[in-house]
């Protein structure tokens, strides 16, 4: 093992067979090496940047031809690895591997260093050893990355010339691994905090949208006004160009469009249009959200309307209150396959509120019609 100034030529001219340590190292030299690693990596908050700094700095401290930073993903039971070849091939992200039956998993599970003097003689992990030999790695050493909070993963060093790792070498690499573990934990914590912040922002926007829809329901008893307000609120979370509310006509079994909000063109020309065999009708019948991309041979009425409006994808959500299917809320966009699972879930939540609003509006309309009829009958009787 060599410690001191970075020297690529110094590492590349190593003999064909050597010890990992080229001689006794003073406490001062070890301290200086560890401080240099610490100063370089502990302030890094991005896992990818951490690995780049780590690889650069460790080449000044540890003799290796291949460096691997393995991160544990406990919730999925897999490990992911970033690898650096000092030969100049650059950084590589390896495929994920299950923790069980994996040499890195063994290091993480046992919390013990793994020393492989000869990858050709190691029989416990044949696939992993074959992969290392495929890159010319003869000797290999892996150490656990662990903090007081959690197990982070493992740090691996591979060498093309055969090396002998002494107890002193492993102790020193263990100190390096402790620093790397803390730095990796900090970077992962920062990454997780950022992800949590994004999730909170998404949930905040989600709740804000539902509040706006609720306010729109209170302020708009007429369906066209309600659809305009909903489309405007939904646009901030899910970009789209078309929103249509269709109600089920019990007498004919058809869906009839009652309100449309469109970015371009006059959406009102679709009001009153009746659909049979449509994507929306299928969604209402199945009581299940349907995504439709205008496929030829399916839902001819819907496909024709989509072509006319320039819409590439629609999300049709049934409006159901209790056991009563009232109609559908359909959102369309000019982008193909634009609705993510999260977007579909949000549209479904909006649709549940719209269903209540439609039920209230229909009840209001029925009461108004009954009131008008009673007034007419009263005038008739009085006359």
pLDDT at residue 151, rounded to an integer: 94
Mean pLDDT (whole number) for 193-207: 75
pLDDT at residue 196, rounded to an integer: 72
Greater model confidence, 129 or 93: 129
pTM confidence score: 0.51
Mean pLDDT (whole number) for 49-73: 80
Sheet holding 324-333, edge to edge: 274-275, 254-262, 242-249, 324-333, 313-321, 290-292
3-state secondary structure of 24: coil
Q: Of 39-53, 245-259, 326-340, where does mean pLDDT reach its minimum? A: 39-53
* DSSP structure string for 310-337: T--EEEEEEEEETTEEEEEEEEEESSTT
Domains of the chain: 8-193 (3.30.450.40), 220-382 (3.30.450.40)
**Alpha-carbon gap, residue 113 to 177, rounded angstroms:** 10
**Alpha-carbon gap, residue 172 to 1, rounded angstroms:** 10
**Alpha-carbon gap, residue 79 to 104, rounded angstroms:** 8
DSSP class of residue 95?
P
Average pLDDT, the chain: 80
**Alpha-carbon gap, residue 341 to 289, rounded angstroms:** 11
Strand partners, 154: 70, 144
pLDDT at residue 22, rounded to an integer: 40
**226 within 8 A of 220, measured Cβ to Cβ:** yes
pLDDT at residue 266, rounded to an integer: 67
pLDDT at 102 over 90: no
Greater model confidence, 206 or 63: 63
- As a three-state string, the secondary structure of 249-291 is ECCCCEEEEEEEEECCCCHHHHCCCEECCCHHHHHHHHCCCEE
pLDDT at residue 378, rounded to an integer: 80
Q: In sequence order, which residues have a C-beta less than 8 Å from that of residue 38 and are 6 or more positions away?
A: 179
pLDDT confidence of 210, banded at 50, 70, 90?
confident
pLDDT at residue 27, rounded to an integer: 56
pLDDT confidence of 8, banded at 50, 70, 90?
very low
pLDDT confidence of 44, banded at 50, 70, 90?
low
pLDDT at residue 90, rounded to an integer: 65
pLDDT at 45 over 80: no
Q: Which two tokens stand for residue 377?
A: 């009958």
pLDDT confidence of 290, banded at 50, 70, 90?
very high
- How many Å from the N-terminal Cα to the C-terminal Cα in the chain? 112
pLDDT digits (tens, 9 = 90+) for 155-188: 999 999 998 888 888 888 888 888 888 888 887 7
Greater model confidence, 27 or 136: 136
**Alpha-carbon gap, residue 15 to 22, rounded angstroms:** 11
pLDDT confidence of 42, banded at 50, 70, 90?
low
pLDDT at residue 205, rounded to an integer: 75
Q: Of 82-86, 203-207, 339-343, 375-379, where does mean pLDDT reach its minimum? A: 203-207
pLDDT digits (tens, 9 = 90+) for 70-90: 999 888 989 988 887 776 666
Q: Which two tokens stand for residue 136?
A: 């010319």
């Amino acid at each position: 093992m060599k410690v001191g100034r970075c020297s690529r030529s110094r590492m590349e001219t190593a003999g064909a067979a050597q010890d990992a340590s080229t001689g006794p190292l003073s406490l001062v030299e070890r301290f200086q090496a560890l401080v240099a690693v610490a100063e370089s990596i502990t302030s890094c908050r991005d896992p990818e940047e951490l690995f780049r700094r780590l690889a650069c700095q460790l080449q000044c401290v540890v003799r290796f031809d291949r460096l691997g930073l393995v991160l544990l993903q406990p919730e999925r039971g897999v490990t992911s690895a970033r690898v650096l070849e000092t030969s100049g091939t650059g950084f590589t992200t390896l495929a994920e591997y299950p923790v069980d039956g994996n040499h890195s998993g063994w290091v993480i599970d046992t919390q013990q260093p793994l020393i492989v003097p000869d990858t050709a003689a190691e029989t416990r992990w044949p696939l992993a050893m074959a992969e290392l030999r495929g890159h010319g790695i003869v000797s290999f050493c892996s150490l656990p990355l662990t903090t007081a909070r959690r197990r982070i993963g493992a740090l691996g060093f591979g060498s093309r010339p055969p090396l002998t790792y002494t107890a002193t070498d492993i102790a020193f690499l263990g100190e390096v691994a402790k620093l790397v573990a803390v730095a990796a934990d900090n970077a992962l914590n920062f990454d997780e905090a950022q992800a949590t912040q994004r999730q909170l922002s998404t949930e905040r926007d989600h709740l804000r949208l539902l509040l706006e829809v609720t306010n729109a329901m209170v302020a708009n008893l007429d369906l066209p006004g309600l659809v305009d307000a909903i489309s405007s609120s939904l646009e901030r979370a899910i970009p789209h160009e078309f929103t249509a509310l269709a109600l089920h006509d019990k007498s004919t079994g058809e869906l009839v469009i009652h309100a449309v909000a469109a970015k371009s063109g006059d959406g009102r020309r679709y009001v009153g249009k009746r659909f049979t065999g449509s994507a929306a009708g299928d969604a209402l019948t199945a009581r299940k959200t349907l995504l439709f991309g205008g496929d030829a041979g399916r839902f001819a009425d819907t496909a024709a309307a989509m072509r006319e409006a320039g819409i590439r994808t629609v999300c049709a959500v049934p409006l159901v209150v209790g056991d009563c299917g009232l109609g559908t809320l359909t959102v369309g966009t000019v982008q193909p396959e634009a609705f993510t699972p999260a977007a579909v879930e949000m549209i479904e939540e909006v649709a549940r509120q719209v269903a209540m609003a439609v039920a209230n509006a229909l009840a209001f309309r029925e009461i108004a019609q009954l009131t008008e009829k009673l007034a007419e009958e009263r005038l008739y009787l009085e006359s």
